[in-house]
Chain A
Amino acid sequence: MAYSDKVIDHYNNPRNVGALDKSSADVGTAVVGAPECGDVMKLQIKVEEGKIVDAKFKTFGCGSAIASSSLATEWVKGKSLDEALQIKNMDIVEELALPPVKIHCSVLAEDAIKSAIADYKSKQGAQPQEKTG
């Protein structure tokens, strides 16, 4: 299978690999996919004043899955939660020139963004944010 240059670039130089403190109230964490299916993405966002200020990922999956999640972290950074929710899997497909058999990787990345935001929101709902300043 031939990969697009962008997929190869993200695979070779993944952006934002790592982890944020998942117990922190301002961090939303998503783990989507399943090992049996060959893809698991973990995406984390750090939110300050309604804006995503940092994002990290770790992915088990093919090159396209790694590239999709790497791109997702790049795109969500600096966006408001509402803006980040507008990211659609087809935007990722287009940017990375994913072939049809790899569309599920982009779906998983969109899922990861939505699920990380939902996790952050549920944390905020459960324990009202302490005002610090």
Chain B
Amino acid sequence: MKTPIYLDNHATTPVDPRVLEVMLPYFTHKFGNAASRNHAFGWEAEEAVDRARQQVGALVGADAKEIIFTSGATESNNLAILGAAQFLGENGGHIITCRTEHKAVLDPARYLESKGFRVTWLGVDANGSISLEELERAMTPDTLLVSLMAANNEVGTLHPLEEIGKICADKNVLFHTDATQGVGHMNIDVARMNIGLLSMSAHKIYGPKGVGALYVRRRRKPRVKLSPLLHGGGHEWGLRSGTLNVPGIAGFGEAARLISAEGQAETQRILALRERLHQGITERLGHIKLNGHPTLRHPGNLNLSFAYVEGESLLMGMDDVAVSSGSACTSASLEPSYVLRALGVGDDLAHSSIRFGLGRFTTQQEIDHVIQRVTAVVNRLREMSPLYEMAQEGIDLSKVKWQQAH
């Protein structure tokens, strides 16, 4: 077994060797510009892009012509939200999103708010789920966009896309979903779910970094129209100018093809490993809280709070395991995770949280090692935790008057 063990597949995934194989020729002898219409180099590149467009579209039940290639999900989200708002809401309007979205959705929405749009920030319950009634109630005649993600990148909670899509369709409101973490692991069908815009990223599905896509509904009605963010040579039907990243796009296509073919079996395997990890840890350690939804969650996601132990010190003790923490100490902001806060997880437990992200290349041997490692480190840190000592003495920590640093 190689160490460090990689359990941070929500941050990024390694490029599958089969994907790399498909990409390589487009760096070397098939280096053409997909927009070069008058020679074989261009045709070759265009062919690769067309194939990838079809493969990426197929992943979510879309036509090739509905796929716009971008530099990643951040750009896709920006194009979706800003592009739709600009096109539909010249005089402002109303947008609905949720507090637990990725920053790449929150920040464009906040930007629009500063430009005079009205934004409803839906809250979530303790599992990270929105209330469909609340969504429906939030809709007004000037609502032009609902943006709700497929699977949460921190706590793994899945949103009920089909129900959300139905509400949006009934009210004739455009539905955008950031499906960056969802595609390949859950069934997504843009037609059945009434999705008008959908963001994806290659590097979360074993493709290369810096490549993404936005699905824009065109085949079915109502057709979605957007204003572009990048103006120039008119690539991607004028929605995203700039010479296409042909090797990256070819890799994205192959990554999409692989996960379309293998995703279902892979999801089952990853889910079983995740359950093994969860069970293995809870059998050995007490005072553990699962963050996110117990069942409606991303198969590779396990987000746990280890009470009385601070997350960064836990990571330090597991130096042969790559995971991430909601602890403030691991972020530049010194604030614990806003997603955990939105779920109502106290700052103390947010500081104690670890996100395990399992993926295609995670093995049972690795999981068993991680269980041993986590157990040993948590036990050691609890032995030196004043909070654990106080809790053992029967002191209610929430009633203690803490003395802050000056």
Tell me the A residues contacting B by CB distance below 8 Å.
Answer: 1, 3, 8, 11, 14, 17, 19, 30-42, 57-63, 65-66, 101, 104, 107-108, 111, 115
Which among A38, A41, A59, A107 is the interface contact of B327 at CB below 8 angstroms? A38
- Known A-B contacts A33-B402, A40-B402; the reply to A62 vs B327 at CB < 8 A is yes
- CB–CB A35/B397 < 8 A: yes
Residues on B with beta carbons closer than 8 Å to the beta carbon of A65: 310, 313
B384-406 to A contact mask, C-beta < 8 Å, 1/0:
11111100000001000011111
- CB–CB A35/B316 < 8 A: no
Closest to B402 in A: A34
- CB–CB B329/A59 < 8 A: no
Residues on B with beta carbons closer than 8 Å to the beta carbon of A31: 386, 402-403
Residues on B with beta carbons closer than 8 Å to the beta carbon of A66: 313, 384
- CB–CB B351/A38 < 8 A: yes
- CB–CB B384/A35 < 8 A: no
- CB–CB A107/B405 < 8 A: yes
Complex CA–CA separation, A104 to B404 (angstroms): 11
Residues on B with beta carbons closer than 8 Å to the beta carbon of A34: 402-404
- CB–CB B386/A59 < 8 A: yes
- CB–CB B387/A40 < 8 A: yes
Complex CA–CA separation, A19 to B316 (angstroms): 24
Tally B residues with Cβ within 8 Å of A: 31
B69 CB–A CB distance under 8 Å: no
- CB–CB B328/A38 < 8 A: yes
Closest Cβ of chain B to A2, distance in Å, is 11
Residues on B with beta carbons closer than 8 Å to the beta carbon of A3: 316
Residues on A with beta carbons closer than 8 Å to the beta carbon of B403: 30-34, 111, 115
Residues on A with beta carbons closer than 8 Å to the beta carbon of B312: 1, 62-63
- CB–CB A41/B316 < 8 A: no
- Known A-B contacts A17-B383, A38-B327, A63-B316; the reply to A58 vs B405 at CB < 8 A is no
Closest Cβ of chain A to B21, distance in Å, is 35
Closest Cβ of chain A to B368, distance in Å, is 23
Q: List 18 A-B contacts (CB under 8 A).
A: A1-B330, A11-B316, A19-B389, A30-B403, A33-B405, A35-B387, A35-B397, A36-B348, A36-B402, A58-B384, A59-B385, A60-B385, A60-B386, A62-B310, A65-B313, A104-B405, A108-B405, A111-B403
- CB–CB B406/A107 < 8 A: yes
B336 CB–A CB distance under 8 Å: yes
- CB–CB B384/A14 < 8 A: yes
B329-351 to A contact mask, C-beta < 8 Å, 1/0:
11010101000000000111001
Closest to B329 in A: A62
- Known A-B contacts A17-B383, A35-B402, A38-B327; the reply to A60 vs B309 at CB < 8 A is yes
Closest Cβ of chain B to A24, distance in Å, is 17
- Known A-B contacts A3-B316, A35-B387, A59-B384; the reply to A101 vs B334 at CB < 8 A is yes
Complex CA–CA separation, A80 to B385 (angstroms): 27
- CB–CB B386/A40 < 8 A: yes
Which among B316, B346, B385, B388 is the interface contact of A62 at CB below 8 angstroms? B316
Q: Which 4 A-B pairs have the closest CB atoms?
A: A34-B402, A35-B348, A42-B386, A62-B312
Residues on A with beta carbons closer than 8 Å to the beta carbon of B402: 31, 33-36, 40
B175 CB–A CB distance under 8 Å: no
Complex CA–CA separation, A76 to B238 (angstroms): 69
Beyond the given pairs A59-B384, A59-B385, 18 more chain A to chain B contacts, judged by CB atoms under 8 angstroms and listed by A's residue number, are A11-B317, A31-B402, A31-B403, A32-B405, A33-B402, A33-B404, A33-B405, A34-B402, A35-B402, A36-B348, A39-B405, A59-B386, A60-B309, A60-B385, A60-B386, A62-B316, A62-B327, A66-B384
Complex CA–CA separation, A111 to B371 (angstroms): 37
Complex CA–CA separation, A41 to B130 (angstroms): 38
B298-316 to A contact mask, C-beta < 8 Å, 1/0:
0000000000111011001
Residues on B with beta carbons closer than 8 Å to the beta carbon of A58: 384-386, 389
Complex CA–CA separation, A54 to B216 (angstroms): 69
Residues on B with beta carbons closer than 8 Å to the beta carbon of A62: 310, 312-313, 316, 327, 329
